């Protein structure tokens, strides 16, 4: 009888027991990831704390220098930089580059919050300061964190995703009311008509006042006029 416990200890582990033995390793991985996420948040907010009067640009990375909206984004960047605003973008090409370029050319503060991807250089050359992020969701939070205004130029799924996220945050009161300026009536007009007809008119899934959460303009000058009248705010 005295030997039975030793014999029992030598029995093969059941499948659920094997999983239990592996659990501490998985927990270590999860704990490490949590600390990395926390560190990125802290570093991201610290990066933003050194600037003020931020205006965040969103738009397609595919638009070239001869595109109308690239030129308007660059012009808006110049206006903002000239009058002491900080231009923030995702740090990449296209509209992001245009906004950074405009601010940079007039000696303004031009920030880029880019994403770290293997074998791909995303940061444009017109940044006074830049910060790379490992996690997409942290980068999104930092891009939305403290802007005095958000400017959306024509873009793809990513631009639309970011647009609806910020509109939703303001609609639900999770973010204080902040100007959202959409540049390009031809691009944004169809989306607005769909919201009016389908979301509001047919399905009643939004309120009429929700359509006033953003303003559509056609030029950098119009966008700047709205932004210049907005008030600076702190982190949400």
Query: Taking the complete model, does pTM exceed 0.75, yes or no?
Result: yes
Residue 138: closest CA among 61, 213, 62, 46: 46
Q: Are strands 129-133 and 109-115 parallel, antiparallel or unpaired?
A: parallel
The residues, any chain, with a CB within 8 Å of residue 215's CB and separated by 6 or more, are 179, 180, 181, 182, 226
* Percent residues over pLDDT 90 in the chain: 79
pLDDT value, residue 217 = 98
Alpha helices (H) in 50-119, listed in sequence order:
68-82, 95-105
* Domains of the chain: residue spans and CATH: 34-228 (3.40.50.450)
Tens of pLDDT along 88-140? 999 999 999 999 999 999 999 999 999 877 655 579 999 999 999 999 999 99
Helix, strand, or coil here: 182? strand
- Is residue 152 within 8 A of residue 136, CB to CB? The reply is no
Percentage of the residues of the chain whose pLDDT score is greater than 70: 87
How many residues are listed for the chain in this entry?
A: 236
Residues 6+ apart with CB under 8 A from 97: 70, 89, 124, 126
Residue 4's pLDDT band (boundaries 50, 70, 90)?
A: very low
Strand order in the sheet with 149-152: 129-133, 109-115, 86-89, 54-58, 149-152, 180-183, 215-217
Handedness of CA 122, 232, 220, 207 (dihedral sign): positive
**For 161-218, what is each residue's pLDDT tens digit?**
999 999 999 999 999 999 999 999 999 999 999 999 999 999 999 999 999 999 999 9
């Amino acid at each position: 009888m005295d030997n039975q416990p030793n014999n029992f200890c030598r029995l093969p582990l059941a499948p659920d027991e094997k999983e239990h033995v592996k659990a501490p390793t998985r927990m270590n991985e999860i704990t490490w990831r949590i600390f990395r996420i926390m560190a990125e948040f802290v570093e991201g907010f610290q990066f933003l704390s050194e600037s003020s009067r931020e205006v965040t640009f969103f738009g397609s990375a595919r638009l070239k220098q001869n595109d109308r909206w690239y030129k308007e984004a660059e012009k808006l960047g110049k206006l903002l930089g000239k009058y002491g605003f900080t231009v923030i973008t995702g740090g990449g090409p296209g509209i992001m580059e245009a906004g950074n370029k405009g601010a940079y050319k007039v000696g303004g503060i031009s920030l880029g919050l880019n994403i770290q991807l293997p074998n791909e250089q995303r940061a444009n050359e017109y940044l006074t300061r830049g910060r790379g992020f490992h996690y997409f969701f942290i980068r999104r939070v930092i891009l939305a964190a403290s802007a005095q205004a958000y400017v959306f130029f024509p873009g793809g799924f990513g631009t639309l995703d970011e647009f609806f996220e910020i509109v939703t945050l303001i609609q639900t009161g999770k973010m204080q009311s902040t100007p959202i300026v959409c540049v390009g009536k031809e691009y944004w007009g169809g989306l607005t008509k769909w919201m009016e007809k389908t979301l509001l008119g047919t399905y009643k899934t939004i309120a009429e006042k929700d359509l006033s959460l953003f303003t559509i303009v056609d030029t950098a000058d119009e966008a700047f006029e709205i932004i210049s009248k907005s008030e600076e705010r702190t982190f949400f």
